[in-house]
Amino acid sequence: MANFEHGDFHARIVGSFASQGAMTMIGAELTRISHGVVEIELPFDTKLTQQHGILHAGVIATGLETACTYAAYTMIDTDASLLTIEFKVNLMSPGRGSRFLFRGEVTRPGTNIIVTDGRGYAVGDGPAKLIASMSGTAMVVRDREGFQD
């Protein structure tokens, strides 16, 4: 059974996040880790832009996919791992702002398959603006049996 003690998944996720080159590259930081919910934030930077000067859809996907995957990590055994199978992103407003927040939540935990949903927001002085949503699926892998697939 999954071990839901906070300390376990918290340390694991912090260490895992720190090992991701991509998180350093985009300037992201972990700002919330709780059971079934993880948040990541990053400041706007011109290196993250697409051709209109706003946040690249791929950077939005990177933030959402990472938040959702770590949300799923809070609900698996410490000897298990996760493979993202697929995800879908809807872009709802231009990624314009000084700072962005990506929240991942577990919609459906499971022994084999975990379904997550994510929301991305432009945050700043005013109210947060919803810029994107994600729906994703991860497979729980034990003994790395999924990796040699």
Interacting residues with a second copy (CB under 8 A): 16-17, 19-22, 24-26, 45-51, 56-59, 61-63, 65-66, 83-94, 107-108, 110-113, 115, 117, 130, 133, 135, 137, 139, 145-147, 149
Question: How many C-beta atoms surround the C-beta of residue 36 within 10 A?
Answer: 16
Q: How far is the CB of 34 from a second copy (least distance, A)?
A: 20
The terminus-to-terminus CA distance of the chain in angstroms comes to 25
Q: Which is nearer to a second copy, 124 or 146 (CB)?
A: 146
Q: How far is the CB of 120 from a second copy (least distance, A)?
A: 12
What does the DSSP 8-state code read for residue 47?
A: G
Q: What whole-number distance in Å separates Cα of residue 33 and Cα of residue 74?
A: 8
Q: How far is the CB of 32 from a second copy (least distance, A)?
A: 18
Q: What whole-number distance in Å separates Cα of residue 2 and Cα of residue 24?
A: 29
